[in-house]
Structure 1
Amino acid sequence: MDTSKRLEPATSMADRVYAVLHESIMSGEFPVGYRLRIRDLAALVGTSEMPVREAIRRLEEAGFAERAPHRGSVVKGLDLAELVYAYDVRLLLEVEATRLGAARIDAAGIAAMREGLVSMREAIAEGGVMDYLDRDETVLGVLYEASGNPVLVDTVRALWGQCRAYKTVGARSALDKPVDDALWRHQERLVDTVESGDAEAAAAVTRESLASAIERIKAQLKEQKKQN
């Protein structure tokens, strides 16, 4: 793992370590169940144990890690039941963020969404899962920020972080199916409706996209129960 690039943006050592660990979890480099050994991680990032301990505590608070009996802190697995709740909240907030943003966005914002959509399609073509997710959130972020409600936007972004592991799995699955347009279909329709000036139609696209994701999670949850 190349830590030199990852450590630059942070403002404190604990922030830097958190950024490295968080990225490693989100990228799948640290898989579910991976033991976050303080001494090993301190050696990996080249720091003392104290900031590593603090970073792990923050990962636990954010829901990316959890305490396991006799193992210490480990990367937390996907809890599909929790994801259903998270997506239910996303549905409520993002539909409203879309409605508000679509009513207020200007020509520059629409152009930025178009550029982001092209960039997102490029990431899909290259098979870059994390790049795709980042660019997808950039497109949506432009729209939601146009709502003028920073608390709404920050709350949505926090939910994106909680759902990131599931989104990564879903995106990887879709990328394995070249004819599947699930990764860009809703986003393209969203940009089209926003550009048309129809805020209600845009909100409907967001509702449909997230409702579809909720149904996929529920189907996986049902399948999980059958296997157990």
Structure 2
Amino acid sequence: MKKSLVLLTVISSLSLSAVAQSKIIAHRGVWKHTQAPQNSIKSLEEAIQLKVWGAEFDVHLTKDDVLVVNHDNDFYGIDIATATYAELLAKKHPNGESIPTAEAYLKAGLAQKGTKLIYELKTNKLGTERTLKAAEQSVALVKQLGAQAQVEYIAFSYDACLRLKELDAKAKVHYLNGDKSPKELKAVKIDGLDYHINVYKQNPTWIKEAKNLKLKTNVWTVNKEEDMTFFAKEKVDFITTDEPELLQKVLSK
């Protein structure tokens, strides 16, 4: 009987440890050591192969209302917000890929279920109206593809976060900008804070406060081993990194 109780205690401890361990989000896919262009479908495939919890990608709205995946406001010198999708096809990634549409990227991610798709809605340089239009089209696209269970949203625009929740109350939405306290985010039903490493260092109580409020915590972009170790010990829910291979090794220690 005593042996059984000891065994159950050990199993419970291991289970709790697994639940508490920070999960890895690959920033713009897995690209740094794979030669895959950032935010390409190839970088997503590399993230899936590495079996990270999530792959982050960035979505812009073109002049002709096409959602495309790219980090910067320009795609190899072509300004996305003021260009049509057809105009963006004049350039290619070094591996030969064209700029992916959000639809194509999501479909590639939906071919599997192991890696979450972390959809960053970029703030449109032309103003709030265009950003909110992108939010509306994003939710419509995710619903059209039946991808709600696979997708979580992040955004720097507070207005966009609120609109995303308004359009889909069940969607997981996390705020990036770092200027709202956990209490403020809880009040408007945002699901979590996804803040830069320096924001947490300047507000050392926010991780604990967020946990007490049952909000998710994510930190970006964590590329140094000592920072990975620190935030893993803080038990943040997610760590976003350009070095997912290194983070896997740190978390396995």
How high is the TM-score relative to the length of structure 1? 0.27
Query: As a proportion of its length, which structure holds more helix?
Result: 1
Query: As a proportion of its length, which structure holds more strand?
Result: 2
How high is the TM-score relative to the length of structure 2? 0.25
